[in-house]
Amino acid sequence: MMTRIREGSISVRGKSIHLRSTEARDRFRPTLLCVHGNLGSGRWFEALLADYPGAAIAPDLPNFAESDRIDGCTMPDYADWLAAIADELGVGAGGPYGRAVVVGHSLGGAVAMELLCLRPQIVGRLILVDSSPVEGLHTPKEHYPAIEAYKADKAVLASALKGMVPMLADEAFFALLVDDAWKMNRDCFIGHAEALGRADYRERLKDTRVPVHVFRGEADPLITPERAVAAAEFFGTTVRTFAACGHSPLVEQPEQFNALVRELAGEDRPGGREWP
């Protein structure tokens, strides 16, 4: 049974935030809070939202897709806004939805780790999907001209994005992902590369007790096996690898991805009562 996805906008701090969400079919499941990556949007999580039996939320972060723009584009900026979105929706300890299973993809993994540092009471469990490494993701400055080219030519942008989803066969859906990517705030293309280089969580998260899981696509050209293993070892876990998959198992291997998220989120079922 698939869940109907609601799509619309909410006002947070006077800004319009575009949001995809679902209501729970199974109220014993924790809420999912899904955080997209660079050039992304909540659209990347549509298959997960439709499949997941609990409530799920996938915003377009500010500066991305259909959400309003903000001045900053660092991981602390986005985590602060993600916390404000969660507060607006009642996600977090003491809220009607309780702590969330936070799913962060790529840059969204860095935002999710920043959220865990900033507002740990929101995060009950963290799933990092081909995430920016715990020590940060450093982009050599000689690559900056290529990044600048993405915002000047949509075909160049589409080619770069295709490299992140090599096994995605749905061309119509891919075109929508490209359209969303094209809407990203132009000031953030280099800004994100610089911010990810500073996104080092080794000191701030060394004592976290929140369960963390690390996913990686076997053919990911960006997050190497060594980087994924280092993250898993840091959090005391192992890498869950998706065979024949690139950087984005959430859209390249949705059935396997959704099943694993359901399994891990099921570990958070509270005993003997409905999820609040």
Number of domains in the chain: 1
What range defines the domain where residue 58 resides? 6-266
Amino acid at 275: W
Residue 276 lies in a domain: no
The per-residue pLDDT for 269 is 57
Radius of gyration of the chain (CA): 17
pLDDT in tens, 201-242: 999 999 999 999 999 999 999 999 999 999 999 999 999 999
Residue 183 lies in a domain: yes
Residue 275 lies in a domain: no
Distance CA 160, CA 96 (A): 40
Residue 272 lies in a domain: no
Distance CA 158, CA 90 (A): 36
Residue 89 lies in a domain: yes
**Do the strands 15-22 and 56-59 form a parallel or antiparallel pair, or are they unpaired?**
antiparallel
Is the CB of residue 77 less than 8 Å from the CB of residue 40?
Answer: no
The per-residue pLDDT for 272 is 30
Whether the pLDDT of residue 274 is over 70: the answer is no
Residue found under tokens 């003491």 = 94
Whether the pLDDT of residue 149 is over 60: the answer is yes
Residue 142 lies in a domain: yes
**Beta sheet of 100-105, edge-to-edge order:** 6-12, 15-22, 56-59, 32-35, 100-105, 123-129, 212-217, 239-242
The per-residue pLDDT for 268 is 64
Whether the pLDDT of residue 57 is over 50: the answer is yes
Lowest-confidence pick of 73-87, 198-212, 234-248, 261-275? 261-275
- CATH number for the domain spanning 184: value is 3.40.50.1820
Distance CA 14, CA 73 (A): 18
pLDDT mean over 16-28: 94
Residue 115 lies in a domain: yes
